[in-house]
Structure 1
Amino acid sequence: MVKMDLELITTLFRTSIRMATPILLASLGGALTYHAGIINVAMEGLMLISAFFSVVFSYLTGSALYGILAGMLASIVISLLYSVFVSFLKANNFAIGFALNILVSSLTLFLMRVMFQGKNAFNSPDIASIVELKLKSGNYFLDNYVFNFSILTYLSILIAFLLACIIYRTSFGLRLRVCGEMPEALKAAGIKVGFVQLWSSILCGALCGLAGAQLSLYNVRMFSRDMTGGRGFVALAAILISGGKPKRILLISLLFGVFDALSVKLQSEKIAPQFALMLPYIMSVVVLLLFHLKTRKRLKNA
C-alpha cells in the first residue's frame, strides 16, 4: 500500500513538472512584455505556432534541435507582428492579441490539412523528441524527483532566476520597468518606448517558442488542432497573480502544473472527463478571483 502511494505521488509529481514547464516558459516571456507595459494576450497563438513548426521541422529533419529553433523563429515572427501593431501603430493589445490567436489557430489547421492530407492531428515515430537529462544515481529520490526531466525543464528554472536578476538588477531591466510604469520618463531620457517593447516582444516570442516546443516535442510528441488548450491564458493568469515577478511565476506555474496533472489522473477515474479537463481552468479563475479580492481589500485599506 505504501509502495503504491509512493508510486502515485511520484507519477503526479513528474506529470506536474511536465505540465508546468510550458506554462512557466510562456509566463516568463509574457512577464517581459508585462513589465514593458503590454499585457500579452497573444501567448496562446505564439505557443501554438511554435508547436506546429516544431513538429514539422522535427519530422522533416529528424532533429529536435531544428524543430525547437523553427518553433522559436515562428513564434518570434508572430510576436514581432503583435508588437508592431501594439507598440508602433498603437492598436488595442487585447483586440490584436485575440485576432492573432484566431489567425494562428486557422493557419495551423490549414497548413496541417494541406501538408498531412486533411488531418486534424499529426503523429509520427519520425518526430524527434526533446531529450531528457538521463542520469541513474541509484537513489530513488534523485532519479525520480531531480533527474530525468526534459532539458527545457531545467532551462526554464534557470531562466526564471536569470530573468529575476535581469529585470531587477540590470540597466535593461530598469528601462523595461520604467517603460511600463513611467514611459514619459523614458522618452525624456531619449529612449524610444516602442523599441524597448519591441525587444521585450522578441524575447517573449523566443520563450513562448520554447514553451510550444516543449508541449509538442516532449509532453505529447505530436501536433493537434488547438493543442495549447488555453495554456497561454493560464500563463497570463500566472503573470497577473505574480505581478510579473519571475520567482513567483515559477511557484504559481508549478501550482497550475499540479492541477493539470490531477486533471490527467482524474480522467482515468470514474469522473466525467469534461470535468477533469476543466479543473486547471476552474482553478485559474478561482485564484484570479481571490487575487482580485485581495487587491481590492489592500487598496481600500491604503
Structure 2
Amino acid sequence: MDMELITTLFRTSIRMATPILLASLGGALTYHAGIINVAMEGLMLISAFFSVVFSYLTGNAFYGIIAGMMASILISLLYSVFVSFLKANNFAIGFAINILVSSLTLFLMRIMFKGENAFNSPDIAPIPELKLITGNYFLDNYILNFSILTYLSILIAFVLAFIVYKTSFGLRLRVCGEMPQALTTAGVKVGFVQLCSSVLCGALCGLAGAQLSLYNVRMFSREMTGGRGFVALAAILISGGKPKRILVISLLFGVFDALSVKLQGEKVAPQFALMLPYVMSVVVLLLFHLKSRKGLKNA
C-alpha cells in the first residue's frame, strides 16, 4: 500500500476518533454513576452549533469551545434533573433531549443564517493544530500536528482512569452505579453524585462537539453529529466504561470512519461507505454480547 495513503488514513482516523473518544469518556462517567446516557448525541450537536456561532462572532476558537461546552453542560443538567431527581426513564428523556436539540439547532440556524440548513464561513476560527515541523516524516505525520483537543483527549483518558479507580470520588461514582443504597447509607446523596457526573459528561461532550465543528469540518450542518453519540455509547458498553479501553475502541471506530471517507472517493455506493462505521459498531456490539454470554455460561 502507498505510504502516502497509509499516512492519510492514519491522520483521518485520529481526526474522526477524537470526538468519539471525548464523548465516550464523558458518557463513561455517567455510566459508572448508574446512567446509560443516550443524550450524548444531543449534547454534541448543541455544542457543535454554539461552537461555530461564537467562533464566527468572536473570531476566536477558544471562545467557541467555551460556548459549546457551556451549552452542552446546560442541556446535560436538564437531562440530569429529569433522570437523577425526578426519576424519569433515562432512555425516554435522552431521546427527547436529542429531538429537542435537533429541532432547536435547526430553528436557530434558520433564524440566524437566513433559512439555511448549513452554515460555512471563512470567518469561523478553527481549533489550532500543534504545529511543530521537525523534518522527520514519522514525527511530523504520526505524532505531531494534530488538533490540540486530540492530545487533550488522550491525556483526559489517562486522568479519568486514575480518577475513577484511584480516588475517593471515583469510588463514590462506582458505588453510585453498583450499590446506590450503600452510598445513601454512608450519607452521600446519589442524585448529587449523578449530577456531578452529568456536568463532567456535558463538558467532555462539549469538547467533542467543538472538535467536530471547528476542526473536523469547520462548519455546522443539520444533524452533523450523524449518530456519533450512539457510536460513543457503543464504545462505553463494549469497554465497560474503562477509559483506557475506550481510547483503543474509539481509535478503532475512527479507522472505520476514515475507511468510509476513503470509500466515498472510490467506485463504491456512497450509501455503503456512509453506513460502514455504524454497521461495524453493531457487529462489534454483537460479538461483545456473544462473548459475554459465553463467559456467563462458563461461569
Report how far residue 104 of structure 1 moved. Answer: 0.2
Structure-2 separation of matches of 1:247 and 1:109: 35
Structure-1 separation of matches of 2:243 and 2:236: 9
Structure-2 separation of matches of 1:136 and 1:53: 32
Report how far residue 300 of structure 1 moved. Answer: 1.2
Structure-1 separation of matches of 2:79 and 2:89: 10
Structure 2 unmatched ranges of 5 or more: none
Q: Give yes or no for the alignment of 1:143 onto 2:166.
A: no
Structure-2 separation of matches of 1:182 and 1:77: 28
Structure-2 separation of matches of 1:300 and 1:49: 43
Q: Give yes or no for the alignment of 1:92 onto 2:116.
A: no
Q: Deviations over 1:74-132 (max 9, x none)?
A: 00000000000000000000000000000000000000000000000000000000000
- 1:139 partner amino acid: N
Aligned ranges 1:78-89 → 2 under 5 Å: 78-89=75-86
The correspondence for 1:199, drawn from 185, 196, 199, is: 196
Please, what is the CA RMSD of the aligned residues? 0.5
Structure-2 separation of matches of 1:301 and 1:183: 29
The correspondence for 2:127, drawn from 109, 127, 130, is: 130
- Give the percent of matched residue pairs that are identical in Structure 1 and Structure 2: 89
Report how far residue 301 of structure 1 moved. Answer: 1.3
Aligned ranges 1:139-218 → 2 under 5 Å: 139-218=136-215
Cross-structure match for 1:112: 109
Structure-1 separation of matches of 2:20 and 2:274: 16
Cross-structure match for 1:290: 287
Tell me the TM-score normalized by structure 2: 1.00
Cross-structure match for 2:30: 33
Cross-structure match for 1:68: 65
How many residue pairs are counted as aligned between the two chains?
299
Report how far residue 225 of structure 1 moved. Answer: 0.0
Q: Give yes or no for the alignment of 1:274 onto 2:271.
A: yes
Report how far residue 259 of structure 1 moved. Answer: 0.2
Structure-1 separation of matches of 2:59 and 2:11: 26
Report how far residue 70 of structure 1 moved. Answer: 0.1
Find the residue that maps to 1:198 and give its secondary structure. helix
> Which of structure 1's runs of 4+ aligned residues deviate more than 3 A?
none
Q: Give yes or no for the alignment of 1:265 onto 2:267.
A: no
Structure-2 separation of matches of 1:264 and 1:273: 9
Tell me the TM-score normalized by structure 1: 0.99
Structure-1 separation of matches of 2:298 and 2:93: 36
